[in-house]
Structure 1
Amino acid sequence: MPAVRRVPRAPSAPARRARTGSQRSLFFGAAGLLVAGDAFFWFILAAVQSDSGPAALDSPVHDGLVGSRNPLATGVLTAVATVTSPLWMALIGLAIALAWAAWNREIWRPGLLMGAMAASFGLSTLIGHGVDRARPSAGDFMLGPADSLSFPSGHTFGAGVFLLVLAYLFVAGRAKPTTAVLAFAGAAAGTAVVALARLYLGYQWLTDVLASLGLAVAVTGTVILVDGLRTARSAGNAGAPRVGAGPAEAP
């Protein structure tokens, strides 16, 4: 008897339209994040270089936070700054990526997370040397000396990329809208706490952390675009009919 090779059915027209609409919304949203984050970074950089606009708040915010220090806030924010240092962020990110790869048997998304974190470190170093901005007075530092440059805040940038990208990768394609909103809100709140810690402990100006927030949003938008393009390509390949598929004779 002839055997029939089963060919996966192509998605129905309504399913294709729904998928296309969802992909289009994802791409527009990701592009919006990329453009908005990038524009905000350049706006802050221009303010720093011209010493105007938001840069006028640097000294008042620094002096206000230094003057409001108390033991409880110091303990909590010291712990936050320590855990979100570039070294600890790299170790935590690597541990999560390895656990994810082993549990889900996939490389793409763990690799995407580590790639985003590596990009944030490289961008932070490159921009820091290009802008060459000094930190606030070393007398206000609470955790010892710091030799690196001030702009942008590496802690804030790295933590923002880690939290925002991780939130996206966990909710992408399988979470309800409410869950996604809560995940991104939590990631944004965590990033804001890291930024506050850097300001409170005396290591950063306000515009340093604001620029880092813009960069983190831009990198997250880039990650969403890259992941969305790969997902769309995979879905297109899966839905395409196989050439030459049809009845086949059994041996």
Structure 2
Amino acid sequence: MLPLTLRRQMKGRPMSYEKTELNTVKRGGHKARYDKTLIHEILDAVEVCHVAFNIEGRAQVQPVNFGRSGETLYIHGSPKNRMTRALIESGEACLSVMILDSMKLTRSAFHHSVNFRSVVVFGRVEELKSDEQKVEGLKTIINHFVPGRWEHCRPPTKKELKATRVIAIHIESASAKVADGALVDDSADYESACWAGVIPVKTVYGFPVADEKLREDMEIPAHVLDWYENKKSGIISD
């Protein structure tokens, strides 16, 4: 059971994102998920998201690292970055992430598919202006990389903060799509001579390698080793 304090905090809060015209999954609706816990878990499991934006009538997408705090995602770039400028001008954002879990090789070319977990987020864009706001956003991004990392690195200077644009994307709507089924072929193909099967996929994180200019008396800190222990087996479906 959840702690009493947490239950009180969550009382009255929706545990799923409301289905709207914007976030409702129409193709493969049986794979759709709107549960906030699942959506947040998928977002937290990856380091990079893909952000869509429009510049002079041309649709574009850009991969970028990010961080999440509650119902807000943070991304950053230089003040001259076209993506962040376009997002600020539009006032809204759409981004996606995906974890590839396995490839399904079927007997027919038509039925080849993958198992995956993906999320699409729609949100309101806010440019963070004050140094305090920027620091909080950057702290969230850095700690999304490796939990506790912010407390073990030099904080940004005034000059660095001035040279950095930080954007908050407040989640207004989101949905996940989860495919985890067995492969399926047409009944007429099951006796064919074509091999069929599933190839599991995972992202493997290697043991931390010290920078060659690091002081000789420095060891790998505990927060980095803890992160490695949690990540070394990779992200893979059950």
User: If the length of structure 2 is used for normalisation, what is the TM-score?
Assistant: 0.22
Q: When you count strand as a share of all residues, which structure comes out higher?
A: 2
Q: Which structure is larger by alpha-carbon Rg, 1 or 2?
A: 1
User: If the length of structure 1 is used for normalisation, what is the TM-score?
Assistant: 0.21
Higher relative contact order by CA 8 Å / sep ≥ 6: 1 or 2?
1
